[in-house]
Every structure is written in C-alpha cells, then in structure tokens.
Structure 1
Amino acid sequence: MSMKHIIELQDLLDDPAVNGQTVAEYLRSYGAENIQIKTLTGEKGSTDFVKVLIPGSRGKSSGGDFPTLGIVGRLGGLGARPERIGFTSDGDGALAAMSAAAKLAQMHARKDVLECDVIVTTHICPHAPTRPHDPVPFMDSPVRSQECNTVEVDEAMDAILCVDTTKGNRIVNVSGFALTPTVKEGYILRTSEKLLSLMEIATGRLPVVLPLTQQDITPYGNGIYHLNSILQPSVATSSPCVGVAITTQTQVPGCATGATHLCDIDDTVRFLIEVAKVYGPDQSLFYDSEEYQRLVSMYGSLKQFQTFGERS
C-alpha cells in the first residue's frame, strides 16, 4: 500500500513554501539516495525539478543490462497562488509520481529490490500561473513545455509512464485513472493489453482507455489544440510513452482546489509500482516492436509530429 506516502506528501506539497529540497529530504527519509534538483526560471516564475533514481539489481546503474523505466509526473504547478489558495487538481501528477518514488525507495531500503532501474521526475511549483482553455481553465507553467522535457525526460529512460491530471474534458467520464495507447516517435500504437491487465489488478475494476488524437502528441506551442500535456514527453524521446491519466466523472479545472481524491491517487501509484516490478528487456509490455518496425517500413517515419513542422 502507498496511502501513507500519499497522505504525507499531499500535506507536504500543500504548502506555499514547498520546494525541491523539501521533497528531496522527504524522499531521503525513506531511503532514496540518488536525487538531483534543478531550478529553471522563465518569464512567469521558477520551479524546481526533482529527479530520483531507484537502482535495480540488474539495472544499468549497477552495470546490468536491464532497461530503465521512467515515471514522469506532468503538471503546470502544485498551486496557483495568489489567484487560488491550496493544492490544485493539476498537482496530482506530481503527487502520484513522488509517492511512487517514496514507496520504491522504501522497498529498496527494505531489500525488496526491483531488477530494473526506475527514474522518477517531476517539478515542484506552488506558485504557477493559469491560462484560458476550453472547456475549463488550464494551469500554466513558469517555464515552457520544451524546457520541462529537457529535465523530465532522461535519455536513460527506455520506456516512460507519463502521469498527469486529465479531468478537464468530456472524453473520459470515470473517476480513477485511464491509460492511453502507446506513443512512439509520432505513431499512436495499439493500447497495451499487458498494461490494461495490470490496471485491472491494481484497481479491481474494468480498465479505462483515454483516446488520443494526432494533435495531442505534437509539441505544445504550435497553435494546435491539445487535450492536455500528458504526452508531451513523447516529443522529446524515441522511447515508447504511455499516459496515465488521473480522471473524474465531471469536468474539473486544473486550477481547482479541494479536488484531489487520495483513493484515485493510491490506485494510480500501485499501478506504477506493479509496472516497475515486471518491466524488463521484453518491450512488449509497452508495444510490439516487430509490428512497429513493419509500420515504419510500410508507411515511413512519423517523427515530424515530434517537431513544430512546416510553417508558412
């Protein structure tokens, strides 16, 4: 169970003075040793990026040959102060990612060591701006999405789970979390049956899939509508990415406070941990590599969708 870590971190993150160092100290209390903090500053403020490595017994950090799993907590900010007081719905991605990091670090300290390395990243910003978006307002970020990707997406990540609050839409009307199809180098691939099975185990419910459009996997800032930023890491890597979307039955703005449901976060964190337990050299957990290569040979590269494309 990860509920203890979720409750502690939700209280920790719901603080206008929280920063990367505060979160790092908390993670160290559960045994995390390899933590990096990087502060980025933009026109709308600054934020601390936190990166945690939980080494595996056969991971690359230990000289092994197992691939590395990435978990990226996507968000604009934990808080929209001074416009809104309190922890925002948008902060759920960071809460889930850091809770998973705390639990994995504790498992490692207790000698429940995974085989693969796991790298968990997010950013800590209690004073983020907001911006208009249809159908509900978005949380904005102090720095551009492309800058976030340079820190959150580590080149060592061989597959990435992108965790993001996805409540401000009419596309998924279920409380809990949903999975997206796998995205790789501009291709929207088949939804992983293996990940859906792990989702069923973690939740005890039927799986839910968040549909994607081609627009959703293009870079932010291109003037095209995006459901949200959940698959923005996919534009910065050749590794397969799957969105883990924290959802609700009704439309909830990202800047809304009092909208975090800890039981949904707990389901999400347990799913992330179960994926980490079984992730290994067989990439079929995320996608069928042979079918992907066949698609590329038949239809060519779609890497242009990872760029800003041609503009008149």
Structure 2
Amino acid sequence: MSLAQTLQVFEAFDSRYASGQTVIDMLAPFADVGVSVEVLELSSPKGTTAFVRIGIPGERGKHSGGLAKTLGVVGRLGGIGARPSRIGMVSDADGAIATVATALKLAQMRRNGDPLPGDVVLTTHVCPTAPTRPHDPVEFMDTPVETDRLLAHEVRGEMDAVLSLDTTKGNRVINHSGYALSPTVKEGYILRVSEDLLRIMETTTGKPAVTFPVTTQDITPYDNGVHHINSIMQPSTATSAPVVGVALTTQVAVPGCGTGASHETDIALAVKFAVEVAKEFGKGTCSFYDEVDYARLLELYGSLVHLTGRRG
C-alpha cells in the first residue's frame, strides 16, 4: 500500500543534489487535484536547508470552508545527508522520507477518487549536507539551522493534532525494529497513549502495538542544556495541539549519521500508519487524547505550559 511511494522518495533523496525542488517535482502531477507544495530556503552559519510544506485538501476540510479537523505530519530530522563527512543518505533521513511518502500516497489517493474528509498539512526539510554533533550513546545529526527556527515553520496553526515522525535509533530504551508510538503530549502534560492510535498501529502492522517512554526532559526546549532522547517531541513545545511521536526504531543503538541504516519496509509501515490516522482523524473516529481527563488535570494541577518555554 505504501512501499512504492516510500521507495520513490527513498531513491530521490539518496542524492547529493536532493533539494526542495525534488519534492516539488514529485508532487507536481497532483497540482490539478489541489495538492500544494511550498519551499523556503533557510540558512545559518552551519549550512542551508530547504523547508517544505505540503498541503493535501480534504472534502470537508478548512481549506474548502468545512469543519473537519486538520492533521499535521511533521518529518523531524537534522538532515538527509552529512556530506562531505559521510557518503550517501543517513539514518536520520527516515522522518523526511516517511513524511513526503505519506504526502505522495495521499495525493495519489485523491487523484484516484479517495479524498480524505479533512485537510492534511505535512512539513519537513531537505538538507543533504547537514553537520553532526556528539551525543550519548551514539553520534547525532545536527541541524543546519536552529531547532526553534525550524519549528516555527514546521508546526502550523491550522494543525489540530500532530504526528512527529523521526528516526529514534540512537538510544538504549527502544529495542524494536520498525516504529513505536509515544504517549500524547499536550502543553506540558504527558498523557496516556491514545487507544485509537494503538488500534490503528495494530491493524496496520498485524502485531502488538509498541510504545516508547517520554520524559519531562524530552518535552522541554531542545537548547536548554538537559538530555533529550532526540528532537521527536519538540513540536509539542510549539503548539497547543496534541502531539504524538512516531519513532523509526531499531533493536540496537544506531547513529543518526550512519549510512546504510535506513530500512525501507519499516519506513513504509510508518507511512501506512500515518495514512490511516489521516483517514480517521478527519472523519472524527480517531482521538489523540481524552478531553475530559485533560480538563480534570488542568482543574486539579493547573497549566504546565511553562515546560514548553511558551507563556500560557
């Protein structure tokens, strides 16, 4: 269902010349069914990257004046390559590949007469020459521009919920090949894992659901000097919408800057999951969190939005 799209993006991104134009070219055939692509070049002394925003309109979405909710899909990463220090595509590319492959699949569905109820907004960035940085237990990819600058573009106000797709292999707490889900995070609260998302994961994989732990450190701003598993939960610092991490995982610790370490079938499983969530979220049959529980937490303990670095 999603392997063909994953392979198409995988091959396109495995290049020194991959860019925002690469994404534009892949999705250009779907412009006549309303699919939009925006590219913005971002730069800093550490390098340059192409920020990409893809819009897939729904039949009853906000784009057309409807009331169906909008799903955000964010591909988090430092870069798809670490040239010149590494030859080829790095493990860290998985989030970008999965996000663009999800967009490609949704665009093809719309062309084939299967539009979604709600809009889907997908964001990521494309950098084949990103820097690296030290991290325990394995070396991480760095971003060519600051995380907060990327987040300002990645997380959009129209997103009613966010899936954050990210390579999460450089740790010893997830020992599973494939992907894993985080608990839902909303404005400083780490909430229970969504039952609807667990159901969709089990349906699309045919296996028991796999989750991973999230700590308070992980949901605080990335530049505050404390340890983070990686940047997968950073979108939660930039929005009031619920955020769930979709971690591309391995059984052993693999560096984000490692090459030959991306697994096409694992990425395709995450794409399939994202597509099914998009179907149900716009339809109203998938909830990221229990609104009654969340309201009770606020009543009892007050806001925790200060953990995100934002004011309430």
Does the TM-score normalized on the shorter chain lie above 0.5? yes
How many angstroms apart in 2 are the aligned matches of 1:66 and 1:8? 30
Q: Report SS of the residue matched to 2:150.
A: helix
Q: Report SS of the residue matched to 1:280.
A: helix
Deviation above 6 Å: which 4+ runs of structure 1?
none
Matching residue of 1:61: 63
Q: Report SS of the residue matched to 1:285.
A: coil
Letter in 1 for 2:257: C
Q: Map Cα deviations across residues 269-306 of structure 1 (whole Å, 9 max, x no partner).
A: 00000000111374861000111011011101000101
Structure 2 unaligned segments of length 5 or more: list them. none
Report 1:224-239 matches (<5 A). Answer: 224-239=226-241
Matching residue of 1:305: 307
Matched, 1:21 2:37: no
Matching residue of 2:77: 75
Report 1:88-167 matches (<5 A). Answer: 88-167=90-169
How many angstroms apart in 1 are the aligned matches of 2:92 and 2:244? 18
CA drift of 1:42 comes to 1.1
TM-score by length of 2: 0.97
Change in CA separation of 1:281 and 1:269 when aligned onto 2, cut-off 3 Å: closer
Q: Map Cα deviations across residues 180-221 of structure 1 (whole Å, 9 max, x no partner).
A: 000000000000011001000111111111100000000111
Query: Mean Cα displacement is larger for which, 20-29 or 156-165?
Result: 20-29
How many angstroms apart in 1 are the aligned matches of 2:104 and 2:62? 21
Query: Mean Cα displacement is larger for which, 115-124 or 30-39?
Result: 30-39
How many angstroms apart in 2 are the aligned matches of 1:81 and 1:263? 25
CA drift of 1:33 comes to 2.9
Matching residue of 2:225: 223
Contact 1:77 1:141 (8 Å CA) reproduced: yes
Q: Map Cα deviations across residues 108-129 of structure 1 (whole Å, 9 max, x no partner).
A: 1112010010001100000000
How many angstroms apart in 1 are the aligned matches of 2:310 and 2:60? 38
How many angstroms apart in 1 are the aligned matches of 2:284 and 2:13? 36
CA drift of 1:20 comes to 0.3
How many angstroms apart in 2 are the aligned matches of 1:122 and 1:280? 21
Contact 1:218 1:308 (8 Å CA) reproduced: no
Matching residue of 1:203: 205
Change in CA separation of 1:74 and 1:114 when aligned onto 2, cut-off 3 Å: same
Contact 2:280 2:286 (8 Å CA) reproduced: no
How many angstroms apart in 2 are the aligned matches of 1:114 and 1:308? 33
Contact 1:93 1:165 (8 Å CA) reproduced: yes
**Percent pairwise identity:** 54
Matching residue of 1:295: 297
Letter in 2 for 1:62: S
How many angstroms apart in 1 are the aligned matches of 2:297 and 2:56? 34
Matching residue of 1:12: 12
Q: Count residues in correspondence.
A: 309
Contact 2:237 2:310 (8 Å CA) reproduced: no
Contact 1:219 1:308 (8 Å CA) reproduced: no
Q: Which residue, out of 247, 251, 254, partners 1:252? A: 254
CA drift of 1:7 comes to 0.9
Q: Map Cα deviations across residues 30-82 of structure 1 (whole Å, 9 max, x no partner).
A: 55631111111112001001101100001000110111000000000000000
How many angstroms apart in 2 are the aligned matches of 1:65 and 1:245? 30
Contact 2:170 2:253 (8 Å CA) reproduced: yes
How many angstroms apart in 1 are the aligned matches of 2:286 and 2:125? 30
How many angstroms apart in 1 are the aligned matches of 2:238 and 2:165? 16
How many angstroms apart in 1 are the aligned matches of 2:146 and 2:204? 34
Letter in 2 for 1:105: A
CA drift of 1:29 comes to 2.9
Aligned alpha-carbon RMSD (Å): 1.3
